[in-house]
Amino acid sequence: METNTTTDINSTQITDAFSEITDVTKMTHALNESFEEMILNKLPIPESVIELFNINLFGNTLGQWTTALVVFIIFLLLRKQLSKLVTLITLKWVKKTKTTLDDEILYVLQRPIAFGMIILGFNVAFSFLTFSESFTLMISQTMSTLTIILVAWVIYRIIKLFESSNELIAKRFKTDNGITLAKLLLTILKVIVIIIAGMNILSTWGINITGFVASLGLVGMAFALAAKDTASNFFGSMVIFTDQPFKVGDWIKTPDVEGTIEHIGIRSTKVRTFAQALVSVPNGNLANAAILNWSEMGKRRIKMTLGLTYGTTAAQMRQILQEMRELLQNDDDIHQQTIFIHFTEFQDSALGIFCYFFTKTTHWGEYMQVKERINLELMEIVEKNGAAFAFPSQSLYVESMPENTMG
């Protein structure tokens, strides 16, 4: 029991000692007293001057007021120099990084750092003075307000740096619409920072913001219900701009539309169909739909089955297959990774040759030209080897003809 009591006493003593060491006010008062004692003992100051500095004014001596004023003026005059000193110290560490983003951030923070020096000077100067509890509370609230403004200013300037730099945004959003959306989001973020800072300042001064926050929540719910589709399209555009499943000029196919992308907006995307009709698709629908992007193909497929007549011999079939393979393997427009030419099945009215290969081009017009040329060359191979293409037909076998009863 005695051990616990001793432990509690020691902990309390350590805490009190630490508080005394870290208390800026006590430290500055001690420094002020030491400074005054040194001046009074070392310098030949007339008694009238000493009495003047001992005059009590608003609970503090004129010497304390003078010391506080001198300290604040020093911080005020040297704020730019102190800001540059902090910047230079930080710059040594920043230069070791590969990116230049931290250099730009450090540059835009020079003015907030200077403002922070003024706040620090005010805080140090105030610590030399003693006031009533109510006035001390007001000064404390003022310091908290200035600190909140400083933090909000820092965040605001960093956001503004990203907003004004198209290069930084373009690294992630490569389209003009993506850059526009990113700037819109950054603007909204700046407004949010200002609102949060304002709410914290009101809370610092004892103003109850609970009702205000609750009313904002109700307004937000009402707005969300009224603008559900608009919000869905807005967030859908964010998904499109960030994931980039397609871009302007791409040929896409969805369950609802197929065509070429002409414009990607904040609310909708315009698709030009092959019938030259312009379709506006809400971005909310596109974000939740399966999108087939034909323009992202690395190669374009040709798949077909050629049917030869049953009069084609095995020797003719082997020769035709060999020449077809050689044709495709030596064609510069055909992708050489996948080429399948095989006699695969006996159909009802033809001998089926399965053809499966890819063109290097994915452009629709060029693809059609290559496909046409290959089809003609395949026809020439078949004709050159004495074979013919089959067509659907049926053979009718008659065992006997009825006798002619006429005449």
Please determine, for residue 374, whether its predicted confidence score (pLDDT) is greater than 80: yes
Average pLDDT over residues 22-41: 51
**Nearest alpha-carbon partner for 126 in 148, 110, 144, 152:** 144
Q: Are residues 186 and 329 in the same domain?
A: no
**DSSP structural state of residue 152:** H
Co-location of 153 and 274 in the same domain: no
Cβ atoms 181, 240 nearer than 8 A? no
- Average of pLDDT values for 94-121? 77
> What average pLDDT does the segment 364-369 reach?
90
pLDDT in the model for residue 14: 41
Residue located via tokens 């809400």: 282
Alpha helices in 95-204 (DSSP H): 101-108, 110-126, 133-164, 166-170, 176-204
DSSP 173: -
Closest to 244 measured CA to CA, from 215, 211, 282, 286: 286
pLDDT single digits (tens) 228-266: 777 788 788 878 877 788 888 888 999 889 999 888 877
Which residues form the domain of 180? Answer: 21-204
Same-domain pairing of 61 and 115: yes
The residue behind tokens 């931290």 is 102
Q: Angle at CA 159, nearest 5°, toward 157 and 162?
A: 110
Q: What integer pLDDT is reported at residue 309 of this predicted model?
A: 92
Distant-in-sequence, close-in-space partners of 247: CB < 8 Å, separation ≥ 6: 174, 175, 261, 264
Query: 244 and 142 in one domain?
Result: no
For residue 335, the model assigns a pLDDT of 93
Checking if the pLDDT of 21 tops 60, the result is no
Q: Is 250 exposed, middle or buried (0-12, 13-18, 19+ CB in 10 A)?
A: middle
Question: What radius of gyration, in Å, describes the C-alpha atoms of the chain?
Answer: 42
Q: Report the number of distinct structural domains present in the chain.
A: 3
Domain termination residue (choose one: 204, 223, 255): 204
* Tokens of residue 63, six digits: 């010497």
Q: What percent of the chain has pLDDT over 70?
A: 73
| pLDDT higher than 70, residue 176 | no
Q: What is the pLDDT of residue 369?
A: 95
φ, ψ of residue 99 to 5 degrees: the values are: -85, 155
**Which of 8-17, 28-37, 351-360 shows the highest mean pLDDT?**
351-360
If 0-12 CB within 10 Å is exposed, 13-18 middle and 19+ buried, where does residue 38 land? Answer: exposed
Same domain? For 310 and 178 the reply is no
**What is the pTM (predicted TM-score) of this model?**
0.50
Looking at every residue in the chain, the average pLDDT score rounds to: 78
* Three-state secondary structure call for residue 55: coil
CATH number at residue 378: 3.30.70.100
When pLDDT is averaged across residues 206-216 and rounded to a whole number, the result is: 73
Q: So what's the pLDDT on residue 94?
A: 66
Are residues 194 and 69 located together in one domain of the fold? yes
Where residue 386 falls (left for φ over 0; alpha for ψ -120 to 50; beta otherwise) is left
pLDDT exceeds 50 at position 321 = yes
